[in-house]
Amino acid sequence: MVAGKSEDNGGFREFQFERIRQETKWESFKRAIYDPDTKSVLGRTGKSWGQLLIFYAIFYAILAALFAICLQGLFATLRDTEPRWQLESSIIGTNPGLGFRPVSDNVQEGSLIWYNLTDSVSTGKWVNLINKFLEPYNGNQTGRNYVACDFDKPPEEGKVCVTDVSRLGNCNAGRFFGYNSSSPCIFLKLNRIFGWEPDYFTTAHPDMPGDLQNHMKMKYNTNSTENENARKQVWVSCEGVDPVDNENVQEFRYYPQGFASYYYPYKNYPNYLSPLIAVELVNLTPNVIVSIECRAWAKNIKYKGGNLNRAGSVQFEVQVDAPTPA
């Protein structure tokens, strides 16, 4: 510090001011980090740093406590086994979608199933996709909470039904799921909606395709009380999108033709597996793309076809390439 003088009311007053240090940039930088005169680090003394740390520690502790209280309040409204918002209150709603497998890993192929009967790599691709999809179903379904179910024997609370893939008829791994022939199989399943229960068609509906109506009338006598429970299924039908598509497929075979009532409602119990329907597309016309639509039938499944906002149904295309006879 140095002394100076200033004129004040005809006199002089002395005052102190700090002399500007003659320092290099490096010396100024070191002094900014640590000033030996004031014993400060980055412009703050030890006491000042201590006060600052205590303030922020208390500040963030309060923030963390408020966050924990809010989080605990949120968790209090949630359950581990079921969603907070269900059915009409949920974004998913009450209209389950219908899905199919196999689906190509190549997004550009979309919903097209295309293979060449003379190319084992081409056919093997779809067989491998189906095998991967069926892995959970081929696992051990004995013990734990698995039970064998029937229409008159639904599962008890906390139990789930065994899904037996050996009942899928011709659609089995031994036959390569039909992909070594012009009669490939596709697998259908309904999307899961917690708590949703179908409102079943127990008698044939006029809008149903003729083969489904005949199946219901022949297999389940509507006058028989014995088959009353067995008629409680979400029925499935498949047909060509256009008349020309129907001409290019000889027949649809279903294993079985409905999703049984004892799989519903879905309650998110451990080890639950969605029921499956295998559909065999018999004798597709080779070298032609065949567009097929499959639909689920229940009174509370709304149907809408087309490529935009489809509901209660699914559409896919199949092309089987084969050598043209000479």
Q: What is the pLDDT of residue 69?
A: 94
**Cα–Cα distance list, 68 to 64, 72, 74, 243 (Å):** 6, 6, 10, 62
- In the block, which residue shows the tokens 């032609």? 288
Are 276 and 169 in contact, with CB atoms under 8 Å apart?
A: no
pLDDT band at 25 (very low <50, low <70, confident <90, very high): confident
Average pLDDT across the chain, whole number: 87
At residue 35, φ and ψ (nearest 5 deg) are: -105, 110
Residues with Cβ within 8 Å of 137's Cβ and at least 6 positions away in sequence, in order, are 163, 165, 273, 276
What pLDDT does 84 receive? Answer: 83
Which of 141, 126, 171 lies closest to 276, judged by CA? Answer: 171
Neighbouring residues of 101: CB distance < 8 A, sequence distance ≥ 6: 129, 130, 133, 186, 187, 189
Report the pLDDT value the prediction gives residue 90, as an integer from 0 to 100. Answer: 87
Task: Give me the mean pLDDT over the 290-315 stretch.
Answer: 91
* Range in 45-49, 117-121, 289-293 the model is least confident about: 45-49
First to last CA, the chain: 111
Q: Residues 6 or more apart from 143 whose CB is under 8 A from it? A: none
Contact yes or no for 265/196 (Cβ under 8 A)? yes
pLDDT at 326: 54
The yes-or-no verdict on residue 10 having pLDDT over 80 is: no
Q: Which of 182-186, 228-232, 253-257, 283-287 has the lowest mean pLDDT?
A: 228-232
Q: Which of 10-24, 72-86, 208-222 is predicted with the least confidence, judged by mean pLDDT?
A: 10-24
pLDDT tens for 101-149 read 999 988 888 899 999 999 999 999 999 999 999 999 988 777 778 899 9
> Coil, strand or helix: which one is 29?
helix
Most confidently modeled range among 45-54, 141-150, 219-228, 238-247? 238-247
pLDDT over 70 at 4, yes or no: no
pLDDT in the model for residue 76: 84
Residue 89 confidence class, pLDDT cut points 50, 70, 90: confident
Nearest one of 171, 198, 199, 175 to 186, comparing CA atoms: 171
When pLDDT is averaged across residues 177-194 and rounded to a whole number, the result is: 95
pLDDT of 12 higher than 70: no
pLDDT at 237 over 80: yes
Query: Between 27 and 283, whose confidence is greater?
Result: 283
At 250 the pLDDT is 93
pLDDT of res. 107: 84
Place 67 in a pLDDT band, splitting at 50, 70 and 90.
Answer: very high
Q: Is there a contact between 296 and 312 (Cβ–Cβ < 8 Å)? A: yes
Q: How far is CA 128 from the centre of its chain?
A: 21
- Answer for the pair 114, 179: CB distance below 8 angstroms, yes or no: no
Average pLDDT over residues 214-225: 72
Helix, strand, or coil (residue 230): helix
- Residue bearing tokens 């691709």: 125
pLDDT of residue 190: 95
Interatomic CA distance for residues 131 and 175, integer angstroms: 12
Neighbours of 32 (CB within 10 A): 12
Provide, rounded to the nearest whole percent, the portion of the chain with pLDDT above 90: 56
- Check residue 307 and give its pLDDT: 75
Provide, for the chain, the percentages of residues in helix, strand and coil under a 3-state DSSP scheme, each rounded to the nearest 5.
30, 25, 45
- Phi/psi at 3 (nearest 5 deg)? -95, 150
Given this model, what pLDDT does residue 226 score? Answer: 55
Maximum Cα interatomic distance, the chain, rounded to a whole number of Å: 127
Q: Do 263 and 147 contact (CB within 8 A), yes or no?
A: no
Give the H or E element holding residue 319. Answer: strand 313-321
For residues 265 and 157, give the distance between their C-alpha atoms in angstroms, rounded to a whole number.
Answer: 11
pLDDT computed for residue 219 by the predictor: 74
Among the ranges given (145-149, 188-192, 304-308), the one the predictor scored with the smallest mean pLDDT: 304-308
What does pTM read for this prediction?
0.77
Residue 31 amino acid letter: R
